[in-house]
């Protein structure tokens, strides 16, 4: 998920949470069947089948502590087998999944595995000219270990290059994602903030032109975060909020020249 996608997704979180609450609980029987399948597969050392069973238990709203730990253990063995085959892409995927499960006992192993497997694949991507893929890998490594100097340098090197190229092509969403990667390294970076402002401004205006008021509201809100003193943010938020309110209630919308 890109930075811009995440900004817009957060604007819709309340509604999604409401729908999830209405959906109710899972199926206890399915959770028990999945647990039994997972335990049999773990005993047979069939790690891929076990991982699938733990995921079924998760989807059936089974006991969280059991499926999280079980899935982490299955993924751990799959990651180690992938490394033994020097399949660094698969290993990286498994280590990343373990980190996302957020089980304390596996946290340090996941961070080390992400760094080990991701480093090889990121360098390979750069050598092959796949800068966008390499940047994704460097960012994942840095999230796992913010002290990783090599990952930090990789992000700085590639994010700047890709941001400039994307802006030249007027690909504002991709450019914003790259500038955001640089801002995450240093929130005081004037270059990253100015780059983000340029992109968010164009994306917010495009959202308004397309009458996508929810996206516009989210984008202007993000613009306000990085440029709190810029009056354009406040005016944009008011315009989009008024349209959103009008859509929900049927109220009249102020004319643009009354706000802008």
pLDDT in tens, the chain (260 residues): 677 777 666 665 545 444 444 444 447 888 889 999 999 999 999 999 999 999 999 988 778 889 999 999 999 999 999 999 999 989 999 999 999 999 999 999 999 999 999 999 999 999 999 999 999 999 999 988 899 999 999 999 999 999 999 999 999 999 999 999 999 999 889 999 999 999 999 999 999 999 999 999 999 999 999 999 999 999 999 999 988 776 655 544 455 554 45
- SS3 readout for the chain: CCHHHHHHHHHCHHHHHHHHHHHCCCCHHHHHHHHHHHHHHHHCCCHHHHHHHHHHHHHCCCCHHHHHHHHHHHHHHHHHHHHHCCCHHHHHHHHHHHHHHCCHHHHHHHHHHHHHHHHHHHHHHHHCCCHHHHHHHHHHHHHHCCCCHHHHHHHHHHHHHHHHHHHHCCCHHHHHHHHHHHHHHCCCCHHHHHHHHHHHHHHHHHHHHCCCHHHHHHHHHHHHHHCCCCHHHHHHHHHHHHHHHHHHHCCCCCCHHHHC
Torsion sign (Cα): 126, 131, 135, 136: negative
| pLDDT for residue 191 | 94
| pLDDT for residue 244 | 77
| pLDDT for residue 21 | 46
Residue with tokens 């890709």: 162
| pLDDT for residue 29 | 84
Collect all residues with Cβ–Cβ distance below 8 Å to 242 and sequence separation of at least 6.
Answer: 253, 254, 259
| pLDDT for residue 30 | 86
| pLDDT for residue 1 | 66
């Amino acid at each position: 998920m890109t930075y811009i996608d995440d900004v817009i997704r957060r604007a819709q979180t309340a509604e999604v949470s409401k729908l999830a609450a209405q959906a109710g609980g899972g199926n206890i029987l399915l959770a028990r069947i999945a647990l039994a399948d997972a335990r049999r597969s773990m005993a047979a050392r069939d790690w891929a089948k076990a991982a699938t069973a733990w995921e079924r238990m998760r989807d059936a709203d089974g006991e969280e502590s059991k499926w999280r730990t079980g899935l982490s253990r299955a993924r751990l063995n799959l990651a180690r087998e992938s490394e033994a085959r020097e399949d660094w892409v698969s290993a990286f995927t498994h280590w990343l999944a373990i980190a996302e499960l957020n089980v304390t006992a596996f946290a340090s192993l996941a961070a080390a595995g992400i760094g080990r497997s991701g480093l090889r694949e990121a360098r390979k991507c750069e050598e092959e000219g796949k800068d966008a893929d390499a940047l994704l890998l460097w960012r994942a490594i840095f999230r796992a270990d913010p002290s990783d100097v090599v990952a930090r340098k990789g992000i700085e090197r590639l994010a700047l290059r890709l941001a400039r190229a994307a802006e030249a092509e007027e690909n504002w969403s991709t450019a914003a994602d790259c500038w955001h990667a640089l801002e995450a390294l240093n929130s005081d970076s004037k270059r990253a903030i100015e780059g983000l402002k340029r992109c968010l401004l164009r994306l917010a205006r495009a959202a308004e032109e397309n009458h996508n008021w929810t996206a516009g509201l989210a984008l202007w809100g993000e613009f306000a975060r990085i440029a709190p003193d810029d009056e354009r943010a406040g005016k944009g938020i008011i315009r989009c909020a008024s349209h959103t309110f009008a859509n929900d209630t049927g109220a009249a919308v102020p004319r643009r020249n009354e706000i802008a």
